[in-house]
Amino acid sequence: MQAVMQTLPISDLRFRQAEVLDHLQESPVVLTRQGRAAAVLVAPDEWNAIVCQLEDFEDALAVMQARLEILAGDEELLDWETVKPQRRTIVSRDDIHD
């Protein structure tokens, strides 16, 4: 992705829709209102890639936080055989409250 994105007054979008939509394949477009950034248009494929990457980063962060808690002694590490029998009980209780 480019560091400098095309900017366009939002009022121009009405007359340049096709051109702007074509440009989204190259890079996002910043729409401005009264000279200030108001919105960013992004191609759907790029948006989906950004969302997937963010989810991956969130998962990686959760794993790192869990590891740090275990190393600090804040969390107890349980093996699967201990948790497995309790799993159905937890699911059943959650189903009741819904």
pLDDT at 11: 93
Q: Give Cα 44 to chain centroid, integer Å.
A: 13
List, edge to edge, every strand of the sheet that includes 6-9. Answer: 6-9, 29-33, 36-41
Statement: 6-42 belongs to CATH 3.40.1620.10: yes
Task: Give me the residue spans of the domains in the chain.
Answer: 6-42, 46-97
**Straight-line distance from the first to the last Cα atom of the chain, in angstroms, rounded to the nearest whole number:** 43
Residue 98 has pLDDT above 50, yes or no: no
The predicted-structure confidence for 35-89, as pLDDT tens digits, reads as follows 999 999 999 999 999 999 999 999 999 999 888 888 888 777 677 787 777 766 6
> What confidence tens digit (pLDDT) does each residue in 11-31 have?
999 999 999 999 999 999 999
In terms of pTM, does the model score above 0.75?
A: no
